[in-house]
Homo-oligomer: A and B are copies of this chain.
Amino acid sequence: MSSALDSESRIQDHDHLALKLWLRLLTCTNMVEGALRQNLRQSFDSTLPRFDLMAQLDRHPEKLTMGELSRLMMVSGGNVTGLVRQLEEEGLVSRVPLKTDRRTWQVGLTAKGKRHFDEMAGEHEGWIAELFAGMDHDQQEALMDALAALKQSVRKTRKAAE
């Protein structure tokens, strides 16, 4: 039985090039995410959702409501609530009521959380550099361009469907 990461092995002979391309894209994303997940666990006893949540807070120093966080992370409100509670107990994030609506809470990184995130983000960038190190500069540029073309193609299709 093939590995879970290898969606490509689902492909039969006569499938369309686009489908092959999509499964290869998915395989690559899963492989990189798998490596990041493993590294976060081994180096920081942490997870990708925790890292992603802290990355969003780092990017929004003006703080975010739970709804905004949930939308940015594309996960359900329940999951974000659990993650925030966990990080709050560890002193990495804090919640304050919104000035204009005291029933709504805003979440931000604490100083400790910011230090912890900066350390993780530095390692994270190093892991990515390692995972992509087998590609030379030209190959990386070619992938950048090809993905830009894909992004544009998907945007156009979705716009046409609206």
Q: Which residues of A line the B interface, CB within 8 A?
A: 1, 4-5, 10, 15-22, 24-32, 34-35, 55, 59-60, 68, 71-74, 125, 128-135, 137, 139-158
Contact = CB atoms under 8 A, between A and B. Distances in A.
A141 B26 CA distance: 16
A49 B21 CA distance: 20
- Chain A's interface: helix, strand, loop or mixed, by majority? helix
Contact of A149 (B10, B60, B130, B143): B143
Nearest to A39: B161
Nearest to A58: B10
Contact of A10 (B10, B34, B55, B131): B55
B125 A153 contact: no
Contact of A17 (B73, B140, B145, B150): B140
Nearest to A158: B35
Given A16-B128, A17-B140, A18-B133, 19 more contacts: A1-B60, A5-B74, A10-B59, A18-B140, A19-B128, A19-B129, A21-B132, A21-B144, A21-B147, A22-B131, A25-B25, A25-B147, A26-B29, A130-B157, A131-B158, A135-B146, A139-B149, A142-B142, A143-B147
Closest 6 CB pairs of A and B: A134-B153, A143-B146, A18-B132, A29-B29, A31-B154, A18-B129
